[in-house]
Structure 1
């Protein structure tokens, strides 16, 4: 929805609280004590009470807002901004727009939302023909590496390794509207510690269906992929041809890097995955339009978030 519609629909704290309860009731409330799914709503206490064991939980409990003291409207505004923009929204800018005194709670709010975006995408597996490659994203040098000489290339301490997979169905006899020989589906980006074959194989096995076909270069990191999918088609790819053979993986990497460079400064390696979660979540739902707000709201009431740490 656009900004005017959002303001009209959610003008105050009460309207946001009522709507959040509506979303939660639709998805069902589960008792964290006994697993019961039938609850009373205690209007005087503004909490749920399990019909089976009597355990009570607040409206925020066991959702993305678990433990948060920020107003409901802050969360609604953040979800609106994240889902209505193609790129992203920094915590510093959101803090300025909200007029909130402290940066840390706003930063944590956004990272909680990005984390549940990743959790939502984890339940889906990629299928069909899949492009696979690694990307190297610029991040801060870890504290324990700052005193060591800076390496160059793929092993640099200022680069974080990311496994990138994209559903990429060839279009026979023609090209797509963008002139590409393949039609892109869903993508996944996963931060990895190393490029060992065991690491790559395990992640592919957990995120790709067994009936899939994988196209990649001939890296030794991929030697065991043929054992876990229907077909693996490695090939020697000259550097100047990589964008033609694996077009959508490299478009995704390029667009994600551009988003990060345009909005953020000095991303810490431990938080890179959350930013990539947001990029993939929005890319995979690029045709949802105004429904994207509702989809993220549903995810927000479905997942309890454990992200509570702030380190800058």
Structure 2
């Protein structure tokens, strides 16, 4: 959605409330007390009342905006900015654009939206041919590690481990790329360690069992043949990894570049939310103007499991 179209569609708080109400009723309003899907809209109170038990809930209840005291227009502007840019938007820049006094509520708003993106993507598995490898992203040293000597390499406290999956399919090389395959969807997960048990859990949860996994010969991947239909693995020289597993490493490189361009330092406990945004936007890269609509659906259908009490 272009900026001028957004301003025309949502010029004030009332227009945002009307649109949110439309999305909520399209997705279905469910009573959190009795589970009934039949409600009245009480215009004088601006809330829904259950026809069965008469429990009332606000327009924001059980959405990503649950409990927020920020204006709805802030949320709509944030969703527009996140979906209309290829990269991302920092909380500090959004705070400046909104002219809001406090940073923390704006930071929480963006992270709630990123968490909603991740929750939406977690509903889908990847299938077919899957490239799989891990990446190491630079983050701040955790508080409980700051007094310890800084390690080097992959085991450094400044490196967060990320498992990356890329669903690919065979395709004819195009003018822009000479690769024999094309990428469809990607998934990225921050993991605590590289043990096979940790990685196996993610594979079981997010990869269809009838799929084929292509990876290097890491000892962390020894159980894949028991989880999926086929596991293709081989020893890969560092110089050849981009040719054998091209899309995984393109995704890792692009994600790292995006984070470096927009943010100064990222705490390891929040890295997953930034990766959620990157993957969500990548997986919907061909949606065009419908991207705002897709984020609205994710926000409305979100159950509030990521609550901040800092507004």
The answer (yes or no) to whether the contact 1:60–1:67 under 8 Å persists in 2 is: yes
> TM-score, normalized by length of structure 2?
0.98
Corresponding position of 2:246: 247
Shift of 1:88: 0.1
The answer (yes or no) to whether the contact 1:120–1:299 under 8 Å persists in 2 is: yes
Q: Does 1:175 align with 2:166?
A: no
Corresponding position of 1:263: 262
Q: Please give the alpha-carbon distance, in whole angstroms, between the structure 2 residues aligned to 1:52 and 1:234.
A: 57
The answer (yes or no) to whether the contact 1:104–1:310 under 8 Å persists in 2 is: no
Across the aligned residues of Structure 1 and Structure 2, the Cα RMSD in angstroms comes to 1.1
Q: Please give the alpha-carbon distance, in whole angstroms, between the structure 1 residues aligned to 2:251 and 2:73.
A: 32
Shift of 1:310: 8.0
Describe the SS at the equivalent of 1:240.
coil
Q: Please give the alpha-carbon distance, in whole angstroms, between the structure 2 residues aligned to 1:156 and 1:268.
A: 14
Corresponding position of 1:44: 44
Corresponding position of 2:30: 30
> Alpha-carbon deviations, 1:192-242, whole Å to 9, x = none?
000000111111010000110000000000000100100000111110010
Q: Does 1:100 align with 2:100?
A: yes
Corresponding position of 2:60: 60
Q: Please give the alpha-carbon distance, in whole angstroms, between the structure 1 residues aligned to 2:14 and 2:35.
A: 29
Corresponding position of 1:210: 209
Alignment of 1:291-306 (within 5 A): 291-306=290-305
Q: Please give the alpha-carbon distance, in whole angstroms, between the structure 2 residues aligned to 1:309 and 1:32.
A: 20
Q: Please give the alpha-carbon distance, in whole angstroms, between the structure 1 residues aligned to 2:308 and 2:192.
A: 21
Corresponding position of 2:273: 274
Describe the SS at the equivalent of 1:141.
coil
Describe the SS at the equivalent of 1:290.
helix
Q: Please give the alpha-carbon distance, in whole angstroms, between the structure 1 residues aligned to 2:45 and 2:79.
A: 27
Q: Please give the alpha-carbon distance, in whole angstroms, between the structure 2 residues aligned to 1:102 and 1:10.
A: 24
Q: Please give the alpha-carbon distance, in whole angstroms, between the structure 2 residues aligned to 1:170 and 1:156.
A: 37
Describe the SS at the equivalent of 1:19.
helix
- Please list every run of 5 or more consecutive structure 2 residues that lacks an aligned counterpart in the other structure: none
Corresponding position of 2:18: 18
Shift of 1:305: 2.8
